A = this chain, B = another copy of it.
Amino acid sequence: MKQHLVATALSVSLGTAPAFADDRKHLLATPPVTAQDMISVSPALAKYTDNTVIGDLWKRPGLTPRDRSVITVAALIARNQTVEFAHYFNLALDNGVKPSELSEIITHLAFYSGWANATAAVAVAKDVFAARGIGPDQLPEASPSLLALDEQKDAPRRSTVEQTVAPTSPGVAQFTNDLLFKDVWLRPGLAPRDRSLITVTSLIANGQVAQVTYHLNRAMDNGLEAAEASEMLTQVAFYAGWPNVFSALPVVKDVIEKRPS
């Protein structure tokens, strides 16, 4: 993790300027909050940000800074928290999330948290990309060769949708089976494990516990380890609040315990 970038918007000790020049502030939903801003309202929040969030949480060994960035960006987009988009998009890129991956995260979450969540992310990401000289050559194709679908493994899911969703809403069933699972999930620009990680994160960050069982199992099928799931909860507690994590905990516990070891 490049420490200087984390410091830019958050560090109390440095208190340096925000990433965006003053005359571009109006392009953001809310202007970046500097360390000095935070101190002028809550010295305690500045302390917790510096000592606990930056100084402890982000340095814990259970997840790489790159994965923490993936989780944090997903939580913020899923909750439409535009005030922090610029800072955490930049931090994600510094932490090794590729521009193509950030692009795919935004696209994927259009389906899992709502189209306007993705649009709001685009409104900020375009400036972040432009400021870093990230051009079309670094973005995923609109229609790339897709990953192969394991039809046999996908059959039970598909069948469940056809039996439980289609009779009530044929449209939802069709888009779920033909668009989401035969197209979006198979895009190669983001590893299936990461796609699952942002899906689970968005569910927990929005209190949507009902779908966590399916998607956390899928995440672990896709390579997410139990210790990473555990630490993901710690990261989400800070960025989506304790209550969402406490509501998800029994479900996560249940999934992990029932996995074949």
Q: Write the chain B residue with the least CB distance to A121.
A: B41
Q: Write the chain B residue with the least CB distance to A26.
A: B26
The B-contacting residues of A in range 26-61, CB under 8 angstroms, are 26-31, 33, 37-49, 52-53, 60
Given contacts A207-B207, A253-B168, contact A114 B240 (CB under 8 A): yes
Whether A143 sits at the interface, judged by CB under 8 Å, is yes
Given contacts A60-B171, A116-B84, A233-B168, contact A210 B140 (CB under 8 A): no
Q: Indicate with 1 or 0, residue by residue over A164-197, a CB within 8 angstroms of chain B CB atoms.
A: 1101111110011001100000010100000000
The B-contacting residues of A in range 66-107, CB under 8 angstroms, are 75-76, 79-84, 103-104, 106-107
**Chain B nearest Cβ from A92, distance in angstroms:** 13
Q: Indicate with 1 or 0, residue by residue over A3-45, a CB within 8 angstroms of chain B CB atoms.
A: 0000000000000000000000111111101000111111111
Given contacts A52-B179, A207-B206, contact A42 B103 (CB under 8 A): yes
Whether A245 sits at the interface, judged by CB under 8 Å, is yes
CB pair B208–A169 under 8 Å, yes or no, is: no
How far is it, in angstroms, between the C-alpha of A25 and the C-alpha of B186 when the chains are bound? Answer: 37
Which residue of B110, B139, B210, B249 is within 8 Å of A169 (Cβ)? B249
Whether A119 sits at the interface, judged by CB under 8 Å, is yes
CB pair A142–B43 under 8 Å, yes or no, is: yes
Whether A198 sits at the interface, judged by CB under 8 Å, is no
Chain B hits for A241, CB < 8 A? 111-114, 117, 202
Q: Which has the most chain B C-beta neighbours within 10 Å: A41, A83, A165?
A: A41
Whether A203 sits at the interface, judged by CB under 8 Å, is yes
CB pair A41–B122 under 8 Å, yes or no, is: yes
How far is it, in angstroms, between the C-alpha of A230 and the C-alpha of B53 when the chains are bound? Answer: 36
Q: A40-B130, A112-B243, A168-B249 are in contact. List 20 more A-B contacts (CB 8 A).
A: A26-B26, A27-B31, A33-B126, A42-B122, A44-B107, A44-B140, A48-B110, A83-B116, A112-B242, A164-B250, A167-B253, A168-B253, A169-B230, A171-B231, A172-B233, A180-B242, A202-B241, A207-B208, A210-B246, A211-B243
Could you list 26 A-B pairs, sorted by A, with CB under 8 Å?
A25-B27, A26-B26, A30-B120, A33-B123, A33-B126, A38-B122, A40-B129, A41-B121, A41-B139, A42-B103, A42-B104, A42-B122, A44-B103, A60-B171, A76-B116, A79-B116, A83-B116, A111-B238, A117-B241, A169-B230, A169-B231, A169-B234, A171-B230, A172-B245, A172-B249, A175-B238
